[in-house]
Structure 1
């Protein structure tokens, strides 16, 4: 049974965008939405996560859990998914600047 899938991409190769647009609608640049089967979703996500290169990608799809959805990520992102007793929470990593080790924050 098809379910709504949302995939967001940033700075991915053009061929990845082409693969996604074959199955999903792109209502905004890098944002793909559609109703596809779990098998197609898993296949697409495998392709995207393997080819993300220096970009990033996020996939959100329905699941039979407390939140009613699952979030998966690929690539280097500042946001990490943390599993907390079955709930997916988002943790922000600090921004790392080359000179940040020696700098003091003004507050």
Structure 2
């Protein structure tokens, strides 16, 4: 059964954008949406993730889990998807060169 798939790209080579536009529409620059089978989705994602180069890509598709969807990423991103007891959560990494300091704990805590 075909299901909705969304792929977002940042700074990927033109041939990756061309491959995505054959299967999906691009309603906003770098965001691709389409309906396809799991097999086509997996083959397309394999091609995209192998070709992102210095860019990055993210794929969100329906899945049979608590959240109802799965997130896949390829390339270097500031946001990383981490598994926390079966839930996929977003973890932000610190900016390069920024001092990461814990804020003071308020009195009474």
TM-score clears 0.5: yes
1:95 to 1:35, Cα distance in 2 relative to 1, 3 A: same
Question: Where do residues 34-73 of structure 1 align in structure 2 (5 Å cutoff)?
Answer: 34-73=34-73
Give how far 1:104 is off. Answer: 8.7
In structure 1, stretches of 5+ residues that fail to align are none
Give me the whole-angstrom Cα distance separating, in 1, the residues matched to 2:100 and 2:11. 32
Question: Where do residues 17-32 of structure 1 align in structure 2 (5 Å cutoff)?
Answer: 17-32=17-32
Count of matched residue pairs: 102
| TM value normalised by structure 1 | 0.90
List structure 1 segments (4+ residues) > 6 angstroms apart after TM superposition: none
| TM value normalised by structure 2 | 0.89
Aligned-residue Cα RMSD (Å) equals: 1.5
Q: What is the aligned partner in structure 1 of residue 92 from structure 2?
A: 92
Give me the whole-angstrom Cα distance separating, in 2, the residues matched to 1:75 and 1:104. 24
